A and B are shown apart, each in its own frame.
Chain A
Amino acid sequence: MKEVISMEWLYMYMPISGIDIFWPGLVLIGFSVGVIGGFFGMGGAWMVTPGLNILGFPMAFAIGTDIAHMAGKSMISTLRHSKFGNVDYKLGLIMVVGTVAGIQGGAWLVMWLERIGRVESVVRYAYMVVLALIALMVFYDYYKATKKKKAGIEDRHGTEGVTWYKTLHKINIPPMMYFKAAGITCSAWLPIFVSFVTGILAGFLGIGGGLIRMPSLVYLVGCPTHIAVGTDLFEVMISGLWGTFTFGRYGRIELLAMFVMLTGAAVGAQIGTVATKYAKGYGIRIAFGLAVVACLISVIFKQIQWNIPATVLILGAVGAICLYIVIIMVRGAAQELREKKARGTTA
């Protein structure tokens, strides 16, 4: 009887990290992060790294494996977003310069922290600070946008709350550049600087940088939310590929886990990306803010050894956000198909 109900087939041996992993968990993480990443325009490592850690991966392997999976997933999302015209390739390529340099620095930092035995705690504390700041910024932005809307103030694509980019666009350090898809003109040094800082954090925290770069593109560079999402995914793809090579060279990637996760992520990425078509910019921003808060609380729980509540919270939040995005996608698609059918009937 014990043989019949054996659950061994649900576990896959990871020969590099030397552990048995619950592989449906990897598929589920891949799918969920594919949906969320495609919708928010990021790799989703801020969920995957703790997620992999919860499944049993050591932190250094969780970071490396996650970066590799993220690169592949972002490729899938970028292909789809580019067809919507959501990717500013010129802006993305310029940002690569700063990102690559930054990620290299971040990877050195991780290796050094691993050597001195501080990687787990430092990465977790840094996570908390970064997540708290991002969440605060997003909700402050929404509060300000709501006030502006009541006052009847409108910007390029409707009401915007935080518009720090307007001040930063006044910096006239040459070369000045026009980014067609984003519809902005600014000094080339602005996106380079932003990407350098986000690159360091990306390499250090084991994230693609999208978590920081997406809001940075919106608030500091001045991209509309949808363009920020698409451009950021392009950027995550390139930085993720570089990160894959870097972490691979350090021997911190579990290839088998990457393949399994990417398979789930491919389906999720399509759903998340198409859902952006049916969402307003602030719909994306607020959902993003809520996701960040959930992640922050789970990391705090983890820090104080509340492992089960942390797991429940992060999985619950990921599930809820996934569901929210899938509902947006299904409703929007159904509406579109109904309208298309009605037009066909009228014609």
Chain B
Amino acid sequence: MPLQRSPRQLNASQCSQFHISGLDYGIRTLTRLFTLCKEIRQALSISSLPSLYDSTGLHQFSFSPVDIRTVAGDGTRVAVFCWNLMKSQDSSFMTRRLLHMRTIYYRMMVFLAAAYLLIPDWVLAAGAGGTELIVVADTRRVSWGPEKYFLDVYNTNLTLFGVWCLLLTLFWGMFLGLLTDQIMKRTGLDLEHRTIVEH
């Protein structure tokens, strides 16, 4: 059977026939597992949940129940499981386990970083606080005509303001560049030749 990601829906009869061809496991809180485990065992009338080995025989898994549902229509009760890495018969298990722990650590770091960035966005998306930040230039303290004009442009048409920013930067940069270039020429230095030496 191909590798399946947890959680997965299985009924009691399917559990014993299920085999895993690769390593996969889910991470669930222990509290939730212990609470649900007893309930589901009773509901499915089974004494224990099956343990399985992956294709290499190095890793042993068990199914941990995370939910129990009733399928609409025929009334079949279905348990939702996730894989859990339990233990192995192999002597080098701990070394391998540590490697997997490192993977988990990286995943957790990525998860935390993603949560740090995404949670505010989700929260804002749910309420009115997510509106775009609007900045308005205060023209009350400005009296000089051109400055007032640019501030009005800023307040009314940001695209035009962007174009003005570009043009003014070009103009002022070019003007100052040519001016200072003329001044440097008067120093008498050779400003057209150089030798490249790295070290």
Contacts and interface: CB of A to CB of B under 8 A. Distances in A.
A154 to B, nearest CB: 9
Interface string B179-199: 111011001111111101111
B111 to A, nearest CB: 17
A2 interface: no
A79 B151 contact: no
Interface string A63-86: 000001101111110011001111
A248 B190 contact: no
B173 A80 contact: no
B121 to A, nearest CB: 5
* Interface of chain A, main secondary structure: helix
B151 A16 contact: yes
A244 B165 contact: yes
Contacts of A262: 169, 172-173, 176
Contacts of B124: 115-116
B183 to A, nearest CB: 8
Contacts, number: 172
A84 B194 contact: yes
A249 B197 contact: no
Nearest to A17: B135
Contacts of A282: 198-199
A15 B142 contact: yes
Given A85-B194, A250-B158, A337-B189, A79 B165 contact: no
Contacts of A244: 162, 165-166, 169
A73 B173 contact: yes
Contacts of B46: none
A245 B166 contact: yes
Contacts of B178: 79
A255 B165 contact: yes
B154 to A, nearest CB: 6
Most buried by A among B154, B163, B192: B154
B117 interface: yes
A68 B165 contact: yes
Contacts of B154: 16, 251
Contacts of A253: 165
Contacts of A84: 191-194
Contact of B196 (A80, A114, A281): A281
A221 interface: no
Interface in A227-273: 227, 240-241, 244-253, 255-256, 258-259, 262-263, 266-267, 269-270
A276 interface: yes
Contacts of A15: 137-139, 141-142, 147, 151
Interface in A76-101: 76, 79-80, 83-86
Most buried by B among A84, A112, A113: A84
Interface string A127-160: 0000000000000000001000100000101111
Interface in A111-126: 112-118, 122
B69 to A, nearest CB: 35
Contacts of B142: 13, 15
B199 A145 contact: yes
A333 B198 CA distance: 20
B70 interface: no
Contact of B194 (A69, A122, A226): A226
A252 B133 CA distance: 11
A266 B198 contact: no
Given A249-B162, A280-B198, 4 more contacts: A15-B142, A114-B133, A251-B135, A266-B177
Interface of A: 13, 15-18, 68-69, 71-76, 79-80, 83-86, 112-118, 122, 145, 149, 155, 157-160, 224-227, 240-241, 244-253, 255-256, 258-259, 262-263, 266-267, 269-270, 274, 276-277, 280-282, 333, 336-337, 340
Q: Which 6 A-B pairs have the closest CB atoms?
A: A72-B173, A248-B165, A248-B162, A249-B162, A266-B176, A281-B198
19 contacts: A18-B138, A73-B173, A75-B170, A75-B174, A79-B177, A115-B133, A116-B120, A160-B198, A160-B199, A241-B170, A245-B162, A248-B161, A249-B158, A250-B162, A262-B169, A263-B176, A266-B177, A282-B198, A336-B190
